[in-house]
Structure 1
Amino acid sequence: MKKKAKKDSLREILTLLEIEKGLKPAVIEEAIKTSLVSAYKKNYGSDVNVRIEFNSKTDAIDVFIDRIVVAEVEDPQTEIALLDAQESYPHAKIGDTISEKEEPKNFGRIAAQTAKQVIVQKLREAERGHVFKEFASRESDIVTGIVDRIDHGVCTVRLNNADGMLPVAEQIPGEDIQAGQRLKAYIVEVRNAAKGPQIILSRIHADLLSRLFELEVPEIQDGYVEIKSVAREAGMRSKIAVASNDENIDPVGACVGPNGSRVRAVVDELNGEKIDIINWEPSPDLYIAESLSPSVVIDVLVDEEENKAIVVVPDDQLSLAIGKEGQNARLAAKLTGWKIDIKSKSQADEQEINYNFIFSDEM
């Protein structure tokens, strides 16, 4: 004789939903109760005071109707006569609320469909709330996802139990992103929209560079090396200033890694973006000189009141110090927070600027 398949109990179903959806049983129970109350009122009257309870002993759902004890019944859905109430509750008196268990008749297909629709809706809302809470706490963090689809340039990135949106404006210029591609992105913002959480991602944010180095460099994770500042022009070039809390650790060397492996991993993730790693210095003149790497610097004259600095470089280093279309100088200014005016040695001599050969001899 063939055995009938055993039906899962309500508790087992709730446990499965908790595992699959990440929702607590109490949240699901409340959603089911709300849905059944709605379905009941739709079929038996909106005025009825119905209450749904889970019976842990029988693993069933019990329906209770609450009625107020009155001398004369005007609304049988919400009221019960005193004599009728005293048949079951001898001590009942006018004004009391009597709760009676009911076995709903003809709670059929329409009611069941209504209950199912509301349950699905409530579960979806609860799941969205769970996802929003999870990702809202991860703003300014880095995530890894799979590109699910691309619509008019906007990439939808699958992040486990949620979708992230990578707008065109947040994509690295010139990067060719394909569906199915795995990529890392920075969570810029999490919005609680009507259709569910909107997780806005970025591939151009400066902090993405910091997070990538944190993943690749154990010394940063352990707190021995600190990222002090980042300046980035996504897809082109970036500068990152690092310092060490341990005199035995070279911060630049730690970030570069053995044979350049660590910085290469970051460069590969950012589609070949060039990265200058420099030593952060507490002294402004030293810091500014470092920031203009790979250019050689003769002297840095700082004006702290104006937050400006004049940088003197050898004549043959001027174009390198400024960079293509001013990029090197622009990144150095962003990195240090100083306004930087770069002059060649000849220009400084013509303008009678008083400088010394602090950082390099005359070439």
Structure 2
Amino acid sequence: MSKETWDLIRRIANERNISIEILEEAVQSALISASKKMVDPEMEVVRADIDPKTGDYRVFARKMVVDHVENYALEISLPEARLYDVKARIGEPIEIDVTPTDFGRIAAQNAKQVITQRIREAEREMVFERYSNRIGELVSGTVQQYERGNVIVDIGYAEALLPFNEQSRGERYHYGDRIRAVILDVNQSSRDAQVILSRKTPDLVRKLFEQEVSEVRDGTVVIRGIAREPGKRSKIAVMSTNLDVDPVGACVGMKGSRVQMVVQELKGERIDIIPFSQDKAKFVMNSLKPAEVESVELDSAGKRATLVVKDDQLSLAIGKGGLNAKLASELTGVQVDIVSVSELEASERETRAMLASLPGVDHETVETLMSAGVFSYDDIVEYGLEGLTETAGLQPEMRLTRISRPG
């Protein structure tokens, strides 16, 4: 093996970020494997030495020193052994040079195959070791290829895959584009190790804010939750561990500089930054921003809320295709029902009229029933006669005739 070939192996190791020792071992294995094809099949070839300065190599086999040689492939006489090692003794093994003549061409061909295979294995192991413990981290890379909807991204020590189903809606990628994404998984197979990226995960929003907002990085501002419709809108709930720090202001930045950096990376995706509150009603009200909420009413289980907004705020509160309401529900974990003031007033008028039409129910009783949460015939049935008697103060002897659904 020439010095030039050995220099090439070193250059490959450097370019591929592979330890030179790994390729040295591969070359040695290749030389041993190739030599076994040219010597006695029984011979125990155990070692190959390479001079990195000259590229010269030698192959060695182990033989046992004996008085009388019966198997020349495995044994050697003492006089012959002492030609290799003057300290050789009977009953002890010795390594002798068995480098075949005209070994160069076969050795080079075998070395090429083994080195190619070992490079693949080393790269696979290196990628898996480097990235398998970084799942969930944000990485930067350069778009290398775009084919069949999938994007190949150079992230430094590996070419990662950004699958079509992990891309944000509406984004387009071109060769040389710089992008940031979250490591979703690292898959290892017998052929390679594949780093899988995502730009759809809500964690991308979280990591971008960690990168752009120092208060998030140091824990002063805590992100309590994220609801996201990739490519369209995200809502992020934040709170401060320091009373002197406004969590929303910290994330927005001076003149919106911080949040705009995140929006720019997300290709224009809208971001609502919501102050988190332990008061669920207040949190639900905040979650509907940018719409202004007049009032909120939670059910007893805290799983459903009715929010009242002014008429001119209704479309903003619901959002295009119901997106604003949907994200508010995801962020808070509360099913959100939105009504306008005029809708509420109309509903209350209908309810009063319905209750007032019942025999024996006067205006005062209507107000009492509505205050108790009775707004429909189904509510009347749910309360039961005893409940209504107690709540509305109806006389027991009148209860059977007063509350009944019209025929």
Give me the TM-score of the superposition, normalised by structure 1: 0.83
Which runs of 5 or more residues in structure 2 are unaligned? 352-369, 374-407
Alignment of 1:1-20 (within 5 A): 19-20=14-15
1:274 aligns with 2:273: no
Please identify, of 316-325 and 164-173, the stretch whose mean Cα deviation from structure 2 is larger.
316-325
How far did residue 30 of structure 1 move?
2.5
Q: Compared with structure 1, are the counterparts of its residues 46 and 279 closer, same or farther at alpha carbon in structure 2 (3 Å cutoff)?
A: farther
1:301 to 297, 300, 304: 297
User: 1:82-104: CA deviations, max 9, x gaps?
Assistant: 667776666323xx544323343
Going by fraction, where is helix more abundant, 1 or 2? Answer: 2
- Aligned to 1:298, what secondary structure does the other structure show? strand
Contact in 1 for aligned 2:305/2:335 (Cα 8 Å): yes
- Aligned to 2:207, what secondary structure does the other structure show? helix
- Aligned to 1:265, what secondary structure does the other structure show? helix
* Equivalent residue number for residue 253 of structure 1: 249
User: 1:115-146: CA deviations, max 9, x gaps?
Assistant: 12212321231122112211222211122212
Please identify, of 270-279 and 191-200, the stretch whose mean Cα deviation from structure 2 is larger.
191-200
User: 1:134-181: CA deviations, max 9, x gaps?
Assistant: 122221112221211211222111222321112222222222222222
* Equivalent residue number for residue 347 of structure 1: 344
User: 1:48-101: CA deviations, max 9, x gaps?
Assistant: 321225578998654321235678766543x215667776666323xx544323
Amino acid corresponding to residue 280 of structure 1 in structure 2? F
User: 1:225-274: CA deviations, max 9, x gaps?
Assistant: 11111111111111111111111111111111111111111111111111
Going by fraction, where is strand more abundant, 1 or 2? Answer: 1
Alignment of 1:309-348 (within 5 A): 309-345=305-341, 346-347=343-344
User: 1:28-61: CA deviations, max 9, x gaps?
Assistant: 3332222222222233355432122557899865
Contact in 2 for aligned 1:52/1:61 (Cα 8 Å): no
What is the distance in 1 between the residues matched to 2:182 and 2:301? 36
Amino acid corresponding to residue 91 of structure 1 in structure 2? R
Identical pairs, percent: 40
What is the distance in 2 between the residues matched to 1:269 and 1:214? 13
Alignment of 1:142-221 (within 5 A): 142-221=138-217
How far did residue 13 of structure 1 move?
7.9
2:96 to 85, 97, 100: 100
Give me the TM-score of the superposition, normalised by structure 2: 0.75
- Aligned to 1:43, what secondary structure does the other structure show? coil
Aligned length: 346
Please identify, of 264-273 and 54-63, the stretch whose mean Cα deviation from structure 2 is larger.
54-63
How far did residue 353 of structure 1 move?
7.1
1:91 to 82, 89, 92: 89
What is the distance in 2 between the residues matched to 1:185 and 1:227? 19
* Equivalent residue number for residue 22 of structure 1: 17
Q: Compared with structure 1, are the counterparts of its residues 50 and 138 closer, same or farther at alpha carbon in structure 2 (3 Å cutoff)?
A: same
Which runs of 5 or more residues in structure 1 are unaligned? 1-5, 356-363
What is the distance in 2 between the residues matched to 1:19 and 1:177? 30
* Equivalent residue number for residue 400 of structure 2: none
Q: Compared with structure 1, are the counterparts of its residues 330 and 354 closer, same or farther at alpha carbon in structure 2 (3 Å cutoff)?
A: farther
Q: Compared with structure 1, are the counterparts of its residues 181 and 45 closer, same or farther at alpha carbon in structure 2 (3 Å cutoff)?
A: farther
What is the distance in 2 between the residues matched to 1:29 and 1:57? 9
Please identify, of 224-233 and 21-30, the stretch whose mean Cα deviation from structure 2 is larger.
21-30
How large is the Cα RMSD of the aligned pairs? 3.1
* Equivalent residue number for residue 378 of structure 2: none
Q: Compared with structure 1, are the counterparts of its residues 261 and 108 closer, same or farther at alpha carbon in structure 2 (3 Å cutoff)?
A: same
2:258 to 241, 248, 262: 262
1:52 aligns with 2:50: no
Q: Compared with structure 1, are the counterparts of its residues 245 and 53 closer, same or farther at alpha carbon in structure 2 (3 Å cutoff)?
A: farther
What is the distance in 1 between the residues matched to 2:334 and 2:76? 85
How far did residue 293 of structure 1 move?
0.6
Contact in 2 for aligned 1:280/1:287 (Cα 8 Å): yes
Q: Compared with structure 1, are the counterparts of its residues 262 and 114 closer, same or farther at alpha carbon in structure 2 (3 Å cutoff)?
A: same
